[in-house]
Copies of this chain bind each other. A is one copy, B any other.
Amino acid sequence: MNPFIGSASLVLYFVTRCQASGTDIALDAKATLLHRIDSLNLLIYTCLLTLTVLTIWVFKHRRVSWLHETGLAVIYGLIVGAIIRYAGSTNQVTYIDAHPDANSNYNLSVPPDIVRFHFPDKQMSSGDVPVPNKTYAYSFRGEIVNVEQNEIDLKATFDPEIFFNIILPPIIFHAGYCLKRKYFFRNLGAILTFAMVGTALSALVIGSLMYGCVQLMPASLAASFTFLDTLYFGALISPTDPLTVLAIFSQLKVDVNLYAMIFGESVLNDAVALVLSGAIQNYEKRYSVDGGFEITAFLAAIGDFIGIFSLSLLVGALIGCLTALMTKFTHVRDWPLLESALFVLTSYAAFLIAEVFELTGVVAVLFCGICQAHYTYNNLSADSRNRTKQLFELLNFLAENFIFTYIGVSMFTFPKHHFDPWFIIAGFLTSMLGRAVNIYPLSFLLNLGRKPPIPMNFQHMLFFAGLRGAMSFALAIRNTVSEARQAMLTTTSLIVIATVVLQGGAATHALAYLRIPTGQGQNDENEALPYRDVRSDTPHGGGDGGGEKARLARLWGAVDSKLLKPLLTHARPPLTETLPSFLRPLGRILTTTRQYTQSENSLRRTDSDSDLCIDEPQPVPTTIDPQQLWPGLVDTRISVEGITGSNI
C-alpha cells in the first residue's frame, strides 16, 4: 500500500496545475448519465425476463397451461410500462429549437443526416465566462409530432433496427433449424398455400377493408391514410405467430399434421409478409417517383415479391451449403469451439448478405437454417451439434420473450403511439376476417384435391391459431414517421397483446370445444393413421396435379440424395457411385475417406432427421420401387409428400 499513499503529494503537486475544460467535464457527466439510462433500460428487461422465467417455472410446476411464457411476458411488460410511464419523469432531456444556417445554400428536400449545431452561439445570460463557440454533430432521429411527449423518448425504448438485426434472426433461424421437416414436407402443399397465397390474400382483404373503413371515419383521419398505407397494414398484420397454441399442442400431444401445418405456415408467412411489405414500399417509391403508368409499377411490385423471395431463399441456401462444404472438407470439427463459431458466423452472414443486397434477411436466415439442419448438421462434431442446438434454443427463448416484454412496455413508453379507437376496432375486425379468408376458402380449394381433406374442426383450429406476434410488431415499429404509421403501430400492438393473451389462454378450451383429439403422442406410431391408409390406397397422389407434384418432389428427392447429400455431407452413397461415369473423377475428389469407409448404420444414426425431428421409424413405401429413385439411404419423406398429393 506504500506506493499508493506515498505518492499523494506528487499527485497534489501536479493537480494544482490542472485545469480541465468545464464543457468537457459536463459532457463526460452527460455520457455517464446516458450510459446509466441505457443500463437501466436493459436492467428493466432483464428483470422482467427473470420474473417471467420464475413465474413460468411456477406455472409449469403447477401444470398451469392457460398462460404461455410469451403471454406472461406481455402482461409483465404492460404492468412495468405503466409504472414507468406514470411514476414521474426522471430523465431530463434538454432540447433547443434550431434553424438552418441562414447563409448556407443548402439544397435538400429531405432533412439531413447530420446537423452541425453551433453552440452556444450567443453570450450566456448569466454573465459567466464566455463559453467558446463549438460545433457539435447531431444525428437524425425522426419527426417530432407531439412535442410534450418528448421527455419519455429515452424511457425503456430501443432503436427498432435492433429487432431486425439482433432479435429476429435467432428466432427465425431457430424455427428453420428445428423445423420438423418430415411432417413439414408431408403437408407442404397446404402449408405453401396458406403461407403464400393465403397471406397475400389476407393482406389484400385487410388492406381493402381498412381503406374502406378509414374512408367512413372523420375526414382528418381519412386524409392521412393512403390505400398503400392500409395495404401495408394488411401485410404486416397477416403473419401469424402461434407460439402459445403450439406449446399447448405439444403438451397435449395433438395431431402432428395439424401441428406441422400451423407451425410451417407461421414460419413461412413471416417471410412472405416481410417480402410483401417490402414490395409494397418499393411500389410506393416507384409510383411516386415515376408517376408513370401504374400497371408497370404494379407488375414491378409482383416481380419484386417473387424476385426478392427467391433470391433471398437462394442466398440462404447457398450459405448453408457453403457451410456444409467447409465443415465437410476441413477438419475444423477437431476444434468444436471453432466449428461452432463458424456455424454461428456463417448463419448470421446469410442474414446480413441478404440485407446488404436489399433482399430479405429473414427469408435467407430461415432457409439457411433449414439447409444447416439438413446438410451441415450431419458434418458437425457431437459437441458442436449439441452446442448449436442449445445455443439457438436459448437465444430463441430469450429473444422471443424479450420482444413480447417489449411489446408490453412500449405500449406505454414508446412515444410514437397514436390511439385512434375507430382504427383499432376496424383493425381487430378486419384482421379476424383476413384470417378467415386465408383459411376457409383455401381449405375448400385444397380439399378438392387433397385426401384426406382437412376436416372442419382442423380448419377452425387453423383459424383460431392466427395469433399475431413478433414479426407484425417488428414491422409496425420499424417506421413510425407518419401519423398513419403510428396508428398502425398502436393497433398492431393491441392486436398482438389481445391475441397472445386471450386466444393463447383459450387454446386448450378451443381444442376441447372443437373435439380435436389429443394425447395421441408425437412419438406414437399411430398418430398419422389416416395418412398411412391413404398412402397404401392411392400411392401416386389423390387428385388432379397430384402426379405432377409427386414427380417434382421425386426429382428433388433424387437430386438431394444422389447429388446434394453426398456432396455436402458424409452421406452414402458417395458421388463416385451416383454421378454419371464421365464425372467420376470429379466425384472422387469430392468424396471423403469417411464416406467410403463408414457403414450405413452409423450414418443412419447421425442423419439429422432422427436428431432434430420427431423420432418415428420411417417405413419404406412399398408401392414404389425404391431402387429406381433411392438407391441406398433415402430421404423417404419426399415420397410421402408426393404420395399425400397435396396440391395448390
Interface size class of A (residues with CB under 8 A): 35 or more
Q: Does A211 contact B (CB under 8 A)?
A: yes
Q: Does A628 contact B (CB under 8 A)?
A: no
A3: min CB distance to chain B, Å: 5
* A288 to B25 Cα, complex, angstroms: 8
Instruction: Beyond the given A43-B353, A341-B394, A383-B390, please list 14 additional residue pairs across the A-B interface where CB-CB is below 8 A.
Output: A12-B295, A14-B208, A15-B298, A20-B226, A20-B284, A46-B349, A47-B349, A53-B341, A57-B332, A60-B338, A97-B116, A98-B98, A117-B138, A344-B398
* A102 to B505 Cα, complex, angstroms: 57
Q: Which B residues touch A481, using CB under 8 A?
A: 24, 27-28
Identify which of A30-38, A567-575, A615-623 touches chain B: A30-38
Scoring A residues 283 to 297 as 1 if CB is less than 8 Å from chain B, else 0, what string do you get? 011011100001100
Q: Knowing A20-B228, A35-B164, A43-B356, say if A394 contacts B337 (CB, 8 Å).
A: yes
A84: min CB distance to chain B, Å: 14
Identify which of A126-134, A252-260, A373-381, A427-435 touches chain B: A126-134
Query: Which single member of B17, B113, B138, B284 contacts A139 (CB below 8 Å)?
Result: B138
Contact A121 B100 (CB under 8 A): yes
Q: Which B residues touch A419, using CB under 8 A?
A: none
Q: Knowing A20-B228, A22-B288, A482-B24, say if A112 contacts B94 (CB, 8 Å).
A: yes
A177: min CB distance to chain B, Å: 15
Q: Knowing A17-B227, A200-B3, say if A128 contacts B142 (CB, 8 Å).
A: no
Query: Which single member of B18, B61, B119, B201 contacts A228 (CB below 8 Å)?
Result: B18
Q: Does A552 contact B (CB under 8 A)?
A: no
* A556 to B619 Cα, complex, angstroms: 63
Contact B479 A31 (CB under 8 A): yes
Query: 8 Å CB contacts to B: which residues of A624-648?
Result: 648
Contact A95 B117 (CB under 8 A): no
* A99 to B136 Cα, complex, angstroms: 11
Q: Knowing A121-B100, A136-B111, say if A18 contacts B226 (CB, 8 Å).
A: yes
Contact B100 A100 (CB under 8 A): no
Q: Does A346 contact B (CB under 8 A)?
A: yes
* A285 to B410 Cα, complex, angstroms: 35
Contact B287 A15 (CB under 8 A): yes
Contact A161 B122 (CB under 8 A): no
Q: Does A40 contact B (CB under 8 A)?
A: yes
Scoring A residues 47 to 68 as 1 if CB is less than 8 Å from chain B, else 0, what string do you get? 1011001101100110000000
Query: Which single member of B18, B113, B126, B648 contacts A94 (CB below 8 Å)?
Result: B113
A247: min CB distance to chain B, Å: 12
Contact A111 B117 (CB under 8 A): yes
Q: Does A191 contact B (CB under 8 A)?
A: no
Q: Does A597 contact B (CB under 8 A)?
A: no
Q: Is the interface of A mostly helix, strand, loop or mixed?
A: helix
Q: Looking across the interface, which residue of chain B has its beta carbon closest to that of A198?
A: B3
Contact B110 A23 (CB under 8 A): yes
Query: Which single member of B109, B142, B345 contacts A46 (CB below 8 Å)?
Result: B345
Q: Looking across the interface, which residue of chain B has its beta carbon closest to that of A289?
A: B25
* A111 to B96 Cα, complex, angstroms: 9
Query: Which single member of B93, B226, B353 contacts A113 (CB below 8 Å)?
Result: B93
Contact B100 A125 (CB under 8 A): no
Q: Knowing A50-B345, A112-B94, A391-B390, say if A201 contacts B3 (CB, 8 Å).
A: yes
* A145 to B325 Cα, complex, angstroms: 48
Contact B46 A352 (CB under 8 A): yes
* A97 to B119 Cα, complex, angstroms: 11
* A107 to B116 Cα, complex, angstroms: 20
* A238 to B28 Cα, complex, angstroms: 21
Q: Which B residues touch A386, using CB under 8 A?
A: 386, 390
* A443 to B567 Cα, complex, angstroms: 59
A377: min CB distance to chain B, Å: 16
Contact A204 B7 (CB under 8 A): yes
Query: 8 Å CB contacts to B: which residues of A207-235?
Result: 208, 211, 226-229, 231
* A284 to B19 Cα, complex, angstroms: 9
Q: Which B residues touch A478, using CB under 8 A?
A: 31
Q: Which B residues touch A119, using CB under 8 A?
A: 100, 111
Q: Does A118 contact B (CB under 8 A)?
A: yes
* A8 to B648 Cα, complex, angstroms: 20
Q: Which B residues touch A4, using CB under 8 A?
A: 197, 200-201, 204, 302
Contact A165 B38 (CB under 8 A): yes
A-B contact pairs, 27 of them (CB 8 A): A12-B298, A15-B227, A25-B284, A28-B284, A28-B481, A29-B285, A32-B358, A38-B161, A42-B352, A49-B345, A53-B338, A53-B341, A95-B113, A96-B100, A97-B104, A97-B116, A100-B117, A100-B121, A105-B125, A109-B128, A135-B147, A139-B141, A337-B397, A341-B398, A386-B390, A390-B390, A391-B394
